[in-house]
């Protein structure tokens, strides 16, 4: 009897549920310890499950699309010295499977290979959206739908379905109320123009989001319950301000990496973390710990062109979410030398959507007032 090890789904899971997105190896493949075997996906992050030891993949217990509960057996690894021989190196494999060659074929799951064979498709015809550009069965199905006549039917991915469930649950749970202010970005635009090159040189891309995160952390002191969580018998107010900021992933949805303890970070430290998170999020390289522990969320929806979005759905179990609209030059009235004068300023609408069980209008407006004042009076005293 060969010695075997079960391949187990991670016990800690970030998201409402986890499903098998793709197997990176097939039964009979020889693998090394810590080599990725398969990908799991939740509504928040994709995770690679590594081999627990050297051996041969002996069995696949859960296939693509199957739900993988924490601790579930995903497959079986044979760790005995006997077993099927290792597959030939890529250079010895046949080269006739379309653009991409044998290396691309070896990274396809059994389900994807079967779909390609059934529909007489070559891998090079399809753009992969999986880890490192791998083709998933959803990519094949989307390609077939687009090629067919009539409306395209694109199956929901695990991330999209989980996002939908989370949004619907939030609306059912919390009474949403939105307050809207207007912010003048002149001060931070001038500061950014002066310091952008130096920050870039230091590996800290200085985006407007960096200032927004920093100002949000400062504003918490004026209305601490914005950084809180509702329980049936009490309100849990957090000391640390852990700010999540949404990063769009195209048609797949978005992911919300979390900047931990934002209240103690400088603008440069904030910019560095934001740049790192954004790059890794779009490369599907975030870890579960990167999206865990948020106490407040920012939706910078203006980057895609919207002036105002309301209500922005609260990221449960948080109590509020900040929305920042498109930055554009507008004519505003200012009192200059005792007279009202029309001037052109870079302006944006900023909104705070609250859980009305936790916060009232007075607290909401206090927070927004402090947030706007911080942006408009930049730089901060300790970052001049």
CB under 8 Å to 352, separation ≥6 — which residues? 178, 179, 226, 320, 321, 322, 323, 364, 367, 368, 371
CA–CA dist 47, 42 (Å, integer): 8
Of 276, 360, 362, 382, the active-site residue reads: 360
Torsion, Cα of 261, 262, 267, 269 (10° steps)? 40
CA–CA dist 86, 95 (Å, integer): 19
| Residue 75: φ, ψ to 5° | -175, -175
- Residue among 71, 31, 363, 25 at smallest CA distance from 226: 363
| 356 given a catalytic annotation | yes
CB under 8 Å to 232, separation ≥6 — which residues? none
State both tokens at 150: 């009539």
Of 29, 356, 362, 382, the active-site residue reads: 356
Enzyme catalytic residues: 356, 360
């Amino acid at each position: 009897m060969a010695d075997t090890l079960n391949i187990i789904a991670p016990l800690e899971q970030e998201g409402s549920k986890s499903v098998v997105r793709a197997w990176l190896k097939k039964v009979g493949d020889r693998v090394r310890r810590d080599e990725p075997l398969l990908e799991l996906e939740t509504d928040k992050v994709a995770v690679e499950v590594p081999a627990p030891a050297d051996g041969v993949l002996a069995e696949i217990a859960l296939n693509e699309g199957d739900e993988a509960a924490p601790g579930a057996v995903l497959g079986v690894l044979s760790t005995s010295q006997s077993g099927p021989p290792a597959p030939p190196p890529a250079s010895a494999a046949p080269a006739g499977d379309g653009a991409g060659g044998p290396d691309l074929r070896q990274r396809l799951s059994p389900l994807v290979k079967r779909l390609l064979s059934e529909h007489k498709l070559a891998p090079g015809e399809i753009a992969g959206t999986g880890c490192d550009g791998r083709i998933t069965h959803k990519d094949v199905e989307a390609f077939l739908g687009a090629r067919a006549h009539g409306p395209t039917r694109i199956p929901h991915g695990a991330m999209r379905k989980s996002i939908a469930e989370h949004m619907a649950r939030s609306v059912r749970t919390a009474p949403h109320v939105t307050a809207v202010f207007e912010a003048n970005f002149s001060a931070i635009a001038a500061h950014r123009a002066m310091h952008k090159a130096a920050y870039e040189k230091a590996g800290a891309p200085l985006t407007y989001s960096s200032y927004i995160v920093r100002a949000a952390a400062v504003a918490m002191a004026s209305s601490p319950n914005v950084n809180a969580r509702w329980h049936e018998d009490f309100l849990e107010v957090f000391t640390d301000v852990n700010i999540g900021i949404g990063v769009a992933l195209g048609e797949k949805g978005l992911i919300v990496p979390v900047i931990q303890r934002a209240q103690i970070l400088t603008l440069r430290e904030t910019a560095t973390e934001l740049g790192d998170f954004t790059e890794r999020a779009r490369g599907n390289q975030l870890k579960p710990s990167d999206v865990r522990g948020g106490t407040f969320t920012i939706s910078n929806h203006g980057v895609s062109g919207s002036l105002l979005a309301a209500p922005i759905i609260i990221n449960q179990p948080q109590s509020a979410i900040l929305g920042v609209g498109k930055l554009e030059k507008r004519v505003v009235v200012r009192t200059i030398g005792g007279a009202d004068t029309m001037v052109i300023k870079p302006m944006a609408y900023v909104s705070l959507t609250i859980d009305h069980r936790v916060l009232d209008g007075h607290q909401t407006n206090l927070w927004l007032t402090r947030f706007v004042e911080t942006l408009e009076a930049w730089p901060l005293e300790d970052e001049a």
